[in-house]
Structure 1
Amino acid sequence: MNAEIRPGNHAGTREILTVSELNRVVAGILERSLAMVRVEGELSNVVRAASGHWYFSLKDPGAQVRCVMFRGKARHVDFVPREGDRVEVLAFATLYEARGEFQLNVEAMRRAGAGDLYRRFLELKERLQKEGLFDATRKRALPAAPAAIGVVTSPQAAALRDVLTTLRRRAPAIPVVVYPTQVQGADAPAQIVAAIGRAAARRDCDVLLVVRGGGSIEDLWSFNDERVARAIAACPLPVVVGVGHETDFTIADFVADLRAPTPTAAAELVAPDRRELARGAHRLAQRLRAAMLRALDRAGQRLDTGTRLLRPPSAQWRDRARRVAALAQRLAAAGNAQRLRRSAALERLAARLRAPRADLARQRLAALERRLAAAGREALAWRARRVDSAAAALALVSPQAVLDRGYAIVTGEDGTVLRDAALARTGEQVSVRLAHGSIDAAVTAVRPEQG
């Protein structure tokens, strides 16, 4: 189903979509509008299902995305992915319609990074991208029917043979001009730049192919050279780069007007084919087959999800039996508790309805009178004991008690107590207080205490 929803034109919408239809439309939009992308990240939540499909998430410090790699693609991975591995995947974005979840359908996976070379690759890529050398606005369209095709590569390379074979098969009437150069080694970048410059100066072709066969990142490093990238960007001819295999990417790929996955594919892109209609039908059949395979893979994914969620009927019945038994126990306990509460309430009501007994009331009243009298006597005795104790303590510290034991208190003329004989003066009038009364006297002699 094709449905188009335009902002601000809700009145023109022909029908209301179901959730399934909406998800199908969004999935189609994603698959048609977003080309295959290469994504790097850290693996998490890795699950290898019994069906052979792989389910995992790719994450970085700021985000994560769910991924699926179907069995047919996963068996070509040359290592076992584990939690925390940093990987690079080639994938296309889609929507898992059953749950409405955005995910990546992974076509290929490899370990991320290749040491210092890979770091230099990323730094140069970022710098040239900021300069605008990768912008789509500067890309030029290829000629529909080129008068001549130029090829920059090594004369001994297998890539040249593949290109010539493909061009001879597809367009034998179009002449091919080869601009020989080294494609590997320390001198290769300068020679590649010179070959592109010769093609640009001579103008004896309408489109230029820069090709090389596959290899390691070190083998392809000449095409990550900044000089080569700037020469491709400055070339007045449309440039198609076909270096390495489908999963290999170089700086030259990003700068070129068109990137081909292989040298053969580069030749196919520039050479028209009289059998293109037949091949177009074949491509449609392949797309249909791929769509069917994707539908089958999605069905398998749904089956995997359902298998993980579905439990055997026997386990469900056992759970229900346990729940019924637990409910029966709770019901029985609640019934017993309710009976006990009602029985206690009836007993309390019965006790309140019985006639009071006067003899028991008189006995309780007499007991209370005896307890009250005893408590009063005990309280009076306790308070008397406290008064006696306080009086005895007061008598111990009273000056009168000291005088009663025969001591006297002598005060001077100014009324201060004389505690030291050295403080008295001869002839001074003093007052002597005894236990009973006092005596006025005069000091006739002072005898200080001898050491």
Structure 2
Amino acid sequence: MTATNITDFKAVSVAGVTEYIQLLLEGDENLRNIWIIGEVSSARQHGSGCFFSIQEPDGSATLNAVVWRSQLPKLSVMPKVGEQVVVLGQLKVYPKRGSYQLTTWQVLPAGAGLQAMRYRQLRNRLASEGLFDVERKRPLPSLPTCVAVVTSPQAAAWGDIQQTLTQRHPGLQVLFSPAIVQGEQAPRSIVKAIKRVGDDGRADVLLLGRGGGAVEDLVCFDDERVVRAIATCPIPVITGIGHERDESLADLVADFCAHTPTAAAEKVVPALSDLRYAQAQLLQALTQVTGMQLSQHQSKLQQLYQRLQQLQPQSHLKQAQQAQQWLTQRLIQAISQQLQTRQHQHQLLTEKLATLDPDSVLRRGYALVRETSGDVVIQAKTLSPGDHISIRLGQGQIEAEVLSISEEPS
């Protein structure tokens, strides 16, 4: 057996090995954009950025990381020792130190913290669109004829809702639209159930209900698809989701929110017993108001009657009648006087007209002479011997010829 000479081996430099490792790590597509979850074990602020490390909860593995200063304002949360985080970044090799670290672009809270952050972000975005505004909420119908219910047919909530609706309003039409209300398939199932109700068109109001449960079982009611389905539902929506945490986004967008399915069922329809009691109260109030008004009107009528007696309208009427008779007599007297005056004036005018009547003058022996042209002859000088004239007498007419003319009276 021959001993091997050490010079027969090809040695690789430290830089060569480091460069090879760098090519492997930084060239791997899976390591260029990777999400890593862990617990922050150290964090140190520096002028160039934040240097921190994350590790497994049991300390079995640790990864160094850095967030450069330009990226710090973009982080959702800052790394804090002891907190669970999810970080996004790329693995980088540093040849001089012979180490690698994660160049970080984003840090998010892990677990419940991440869920809470996503809830706040979605809530703020939907609120900015006005979906939670009080002004857009519709009033529930006071006496619906058909109520639609969206919940799971296997859930106890469905039985509670049925029992409550039957007890409060027997004979009410209930339109059941089943849905999955827990798990990954729940949001899509709830959206379809709400759409079925809207397409059907019979219901006056929709009740979306589910009993209480763990927080993770109720996340479907924070799903954006469910929120928008409630917002666009053509009829008012009331939610009855039993939970102990803050209101879900479905509660915020609904037209009315009750914290249990039973409370929602009690709100959506009035109890017949309550309606009968309210009717009796209204009837009693109406009777009282009517009696009071009748009494007031009777009192007012009595006052008016007494005032009428004081005014003695019969006496005033008799006086008015006497005054009317007196005025009538005066009017008759005035008309009679005017008639006599007009008759006397008529007689005088008749006599004057008779005096001026030409026929009357002719009957007294006068004559009316006319030329052949028809003009009345007033002066003799207007005629000439030989002219033909007509002479009208009191009775009859004479045709004559002028023999001579004398201007002097004979």
TM-score (norm 1): 0.36
TM-score (norm 2): 0.39
Larger radius of gyration: 2
